[in-house]
């Protein structure tokens, strides 16, 4: 995975480069310019082995679930997180 990340950051066209890229195991949080849906296509083409399939989710109403967090985009704060395990205990 690290090899693909390096390849992405080195070869992505300027309009597809993520503003933020954070990975935890096999989950990636990335911030891209709105309408950059072609990034997923680009990522899938980078993997020569075709063993890794990238998918993506788009924020809905300024919110995006990531791992056990609910990420919120607000005007005063670029990103706030709510721990979903505390909000919705199992």
Digits of tens for pLDDT over the chain (90 positions)? 788 788 888 888 888 888 888 888 888 888 877 766 677 788 888 878 878 888 888 888 888 888 888 888 877 766 666 776 655 554
User: Same domain, yes or no, for 72 and 52?
Assistant: no
Q: Which two tokens stand for residue 69?
A: 């967090």
User: Same domain, yes or no, for 49 and 72?
Assistant: no
Whether this model's pTM surpasses 0.85: no
Tokens 């690290």, located at residue: 2
User: Same domain, yes or no, for 52 and 68?
Assistant: no
The domain of 35 spans 1-56
- The tens digit of pLDDT for each residue in 76-89 reads 766 666 776 655 55
Terminal C-alpha separation, the chain = 31
User: Same domain, yes or no, for 33 and 76?
Assistant: no
User: Same domain, yes or no, for 75 and 90?
Assistant: yes
Within 8 A by CB and 6+ apart from 61, the residues are none
């Amino acid at each position: 995975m690290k090899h693909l990340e390096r390849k992405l950051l080195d070869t992505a066209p300027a309009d597809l480069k993520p503003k933020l890229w954070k990975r935890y195991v096999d989950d990636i949080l990335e911030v891209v310019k709105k309408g950059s849906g072609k990034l997923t296509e680009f990522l899938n083409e980078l993997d020569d082995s075709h063993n890794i399939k990238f998918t993506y989710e788009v924020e809905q109403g300024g919110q995006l679930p990531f791992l056990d967090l609910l990420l919120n985009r607000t005007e005063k704060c670029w990103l706030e997180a709510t721990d979903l395990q505390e909000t919705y205990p199992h």
